[in-house]
Structure 1
Amino acid sequence: EGILKELGQPTLNIEIDRERAARYNLEMDEIQILVADAIGGTPITQLLEDEKSFGIAIRLQEDHRNDISDIKALLIDVPGGGRIPLSMVAKVKIGDGPFFIYREYGKRYIAIKFSVRGRDLGSAVEDAKFLIEKSVRLPPNYSIAWDGQFNQMKEAQRRLMIIVPLALLGIFFLLLSVFGNIRDASIVLINVPFAAIGGIVALHLAGETLSISALFGFLSLFGIAVLDGVILISFINKVSSEDESQMKDAMVEGASLRVRPVLMTALLSGLGLLPAALSHAIGSEAQRPLALVIVGGMITATILTLFVLPVFYAWLRSRKGGNLYTV
């Protein structure tokens, strides 16, 4: 946590006194050019050797460049004649300078990092934004940008906002191809919000938020919930097709006989992820929301699949009068 290392590199600081320089009719750029030539060097010519060009520059010898007293004694030509040492128009001192200059898109920046241990990334950053906007006033030409994992999370959320609707649309068309009518496909798809209820409640009870991991959990949960619905509705359709007058008995029989397959699917998913849902170990912040969504969602999806889905099926079938909306 804290500011990434910025200071610590010994740096020569030369602060020009404008008033003193003006007394000697010296311009700022004249003094700056002198210092730059003495320390950084001035290119004077080039040396050609074997079709290669080498620049040649002149500057103070290394021992003089490293001696602050020699730098203070640099002589500056004064307009009208005479010379004065650099120390008469500037303060020369050694101080801590930038250890590394961070730049991005041509702009300098200072990186600050902080830990969100015990918090989800999204809410931690939102709280930090609120506190900073409330208590910090930035100087002109300064701005704050949030980067790192937060930006990656936002980008992933934007992608998932596109992927999730497309996934549900794809599931609907697959169901349409399986059942051949919109009614049964819609009934099975009703299981998706049933499953989502359990996932949302589990996240709320555990104090988690809708993170990227949780969104992936919902995607997996929707697939499992749809599978349970397909198992049940397919069996009810099979039984009812043999004797249309026994619709009520077909639903009761279908729900009772499909209990084992539906429970096997739920237990396999729920119990397998239960340790991850209850974990608070290092790294659990990534897998815990996903596990909570699936475990909580499978509880509601299983109950509602066996008890509510057949009721929806009977209600829609009685209203539509058989196999309407066949495709």
Structure 2
Amino acid sequence: EYSVDVTLPLGTSLETTDNLVRQIESYLMSLPESDLTFALVGASSGFALGSSGESEKASLTVVMKPKSKKTVDDMVEEARRNISKYPGAKINVTKQEHGGFGGGAPIAINIEGPDLNTLKVLAEQVKEIVKQVPGTREVNSSWEEGRPELQLRINRQRATAYGISPSTIASTVQTAFQGTVATQIRLAGEEYNVLLQLKEIDRQNQTDLKKLYLPTATGGMVPLAEVVDFVQTTGPNKIRRENQTRQVQVTSQIVGSDLGKITGIIKERIQREIILPPNYDIVFAGNIKEMQEAFGALTLALLMAIVLVYIVIAIQYENLVHPLAIMGSLPLTLFGISWSLLLTGRIFDVSAFIGVIMLAGIVVNNAIVLVDYIETLRSRGMERIDAILEAGPTRLRPVLMTTLTTVLGLIPLALGIGEGSEMNVSLATVVIGGLTFSTVLTLVIVPIIYSVLDDLAVWTKRTILRKTGVTLEYRR
């Protein structure tokens, strides 16, 4: 799936927006890869049910056919090229993320502080920096100034003289133009709200607003214009707040680049080029924040996996030293992971991290097969070096068979074959690279680690027994 957000100039009618959306929808459905579309006119993709909506905005979601020849990324690029030509329309095409970090922008930067005008200036500076970083596109700001608004500024001196409170003014205007639920009635067992407000013909413009009358403390009536000054101005469409702090958010999509790398460049430039006033802050949110939180949790999961694998092997062998030789195969996967991602041009994301956790339980199998056979041969009276030389060639075939079955089974997933497989290509790539590389090195490195640890264990025992006057006979 991918989404198309359309923004027309402020004040554009719902009909005009709908006509443009129908044209875009018609083009998108003409593409052979498109299965169905869903359009929402009068709201952007961040629209929440029950909110007011905006007539100049619209959002479309396009669902692709299963087993399409083109990927979602290909369709996003094609849609960008062909629907960005409509004059006066600002169109963003983004890939829908599933199983990842939600549907927000990959890069989201929150500028926080008390004054909206200062936030606007800082947001423009951040926006320009993000635009200049390679790999970013469709850089937007949540600040959208220009929507006409009529402010009612209360003349407190005159309002006090008439005995009219600000809450009375606010409730009167709200009742007249937005309506207030006066009571409820029950018809045929159903309850209905009775909304009290002016007729539609009497609440069309500023002139109608000025005709409103307010009750005074003495029981009389006074025109609204007598205690209120009407000021026509423009203001932001929405004011964002988080933890009671005002903020403006700058967002950006990325293409063909590492999210972590781009974020690092943006952070460095912001710290170098922007001087923040007191009580203002710039906070990185979006997918990068979620990725950092996910990486923290996955790091803990990886450590737990390594510890549990070691405990299981130690219990099985009834030995604390030889399991360390088996665990020595784990660091070998790092070389394969790095090279596999580098050669394929893929990034180390959460999916890849999950692949690393999988490797913690997979790669030790080959080392277990090798070390277990070495121990078996030594228990039969064979010298250590002879047992190692015998175990390598003997266990080569089962080790290779175990690795090949896993690698061959993951190749279709690594190539992105199949519907929805795109989200797991990094996982498959990491497992294939790490397992292949560790298998080759396991046959060489693990016996070396085994020998070193075995010598260390013997030396430790001899040192302890020497102090007790006991001699330890040891065969290599």
Is it true that 1:310 corresponds to 2:450 in the alignment?
no
Alpha-carbon contact 1:218-1:294 (below 8 Å) kept: yes
Alpha-carbon distance between aligned partners in 1 of 2:318 and 2:159, rounded to the nearest angstrom: 95
Question: Percent identical across equivalent pairs?
Answer: 26
In 2 relative to 1, CA 221–64 (structure 1 residues): closer, same or farther, beyond 3 Å?
same
**Pick from 2, 10, 14: which aligns with 2:150?**
14
- What is the correspondence of 1:276-295 to structure 2 with a 5 Å cutoff? 276-277=413-414, 286-295=423-432
Alpha-carbon distance between aligned partners in 2 of 1:276 and 1:49, rounded to the nearest angstrom: 60
1:19, distance to aligned residue in structure 2 (A): 7.9
Deviations 1:209-237 (CA, angstroms, capped at 9, x unpaired):
43211211112222221100010011111
**Pick from 229, 249, 261: which aligns with 1:90?**
229
Higher helix share: 1
1:274, distance to aligned residue in structure 2 (A): 3.6
Partner of 2:360: 222
**Pick from 378, 384, 389: which aligns with 1:252?**
389
Deviations 1:121-146 (CA, angstroms, capped at 9, x unpaired):
43344444455566677898776655
Query: Per the alignment, in what secondary structure is the counterpart of residue 115 of structure 1?
Result: strand
Deviations 1:272-322 (CA, angstroms, capped at 9, x unpaired):
334544559996663232222222222321122112222222333344339
Alpha-carbon contact 1:197-1:297 (below 8 Å) kept: yes
Amino acid at match of 1:14: L
Cα root mean square deviation, aligned: 4.8
**Pick from 379, 382, 402: which aligns with 1:265?**
402
- What is the correspondence of 1:118-267 to structure 2 with a 5 Å cutoff? 118-130=256-268, 146-244=284-382, 246-267=383-404
Alpha-carbon contact 1:199-1:294 (below 8 Å) kept: yes
Q: Normalised by the size of structure 1, how large is the TM-score?
A: 0.73
Alpha-carbon contact 2:305-2:360 (below 8 Å) kept: no
Alpha-carbon contact 1:68-1:93 (below 8 Å) kept: no
Mark the runs of 5 or more structure 2 residues left unpaired by the alignment: 8-42, 48-52, 57-146, 463-476
Query: Per the alignment, in what secondary structure is the counterpart of residue 181 of structure 1?
Result: coil
Alpha-carbon distance between aligned partners in 2 of 1:139 and 1:38, rounded to the nearest angstrom: 43
Q: Normalised by the size of structure 2, how large is the TM-score?
A: 0.53
Higher strand share: 2
In 2 relative to 1, CA 8–137 (structure 1 residues): closer, same or farther, beyond 3 Å?
farther
Alpha-carbon contact 2:414-2:426 (below 8 Å) kept: yes
In 2 relative to 1, CA 131–90 (structure 1 residues): closer, same or farther, beyond 3 Å?
farther
Alpha-carbon distance between aligned partners in 1 of 2:272 and 2:155, rounded to the nearest angstrom: 41
1:61, distance to aligned residue in structure 2 (A): 3.0
Partner of 2:458: 321
Alpha-carbon distance between aligned partners in 2 of 1:12 and 1:79, rounded to the nearest angstrom: 34
More deviation in 252-261 or 134-143? 134-143
Q: Which has the higher contact order (CA 8 A, sep 6+)?
A: 1
1:199, distance to aligned residue in structure 2 (A): 1.5
Alpha-carbon contact 2:322-2:454 (below 8 Å) kept: no
More deviation in 81-90 or 67-76? 81-90
Alpha-carbon contact 2:210-2:223 (below 8 Å) kept: no
Partner of 2:25: none
Alpha-carbon contact 1:24-1:78 (below 8 Å) kept: no
In 2 relative to 1, CA 312–130 (structure 1 residues): closer, same or farther, beyond 3 Å?
closer
In 2 relative to 1, CA 96–317 (structure 1 residues): closer, same or farther, beyond 3 Å?
closer
Mark the runs of 5 or more structure 1 residues left unpaired by the alignment: none
Amino acid at match of 2:151: E
Deviations 1:223-258 (CA, angstroms, capped at 9, x unpaired):
2211000100111111122124x3322211110010
In 2 relative to 1, CA 86–187 (structure 1 residues): closer, same or farther, beyond 3 Å?
same
In 2 relative to 1, CA 76–136 (structure 1 residues): closer, same or farther, beyond 3 Å?
farther
Count of residue correspondences: 322
More deviation in 67-76 or 77-86? 77-86
Query: Per the alignment, in what secondary structure is the counterpart of residue 90 of structure 1?
Result: strand
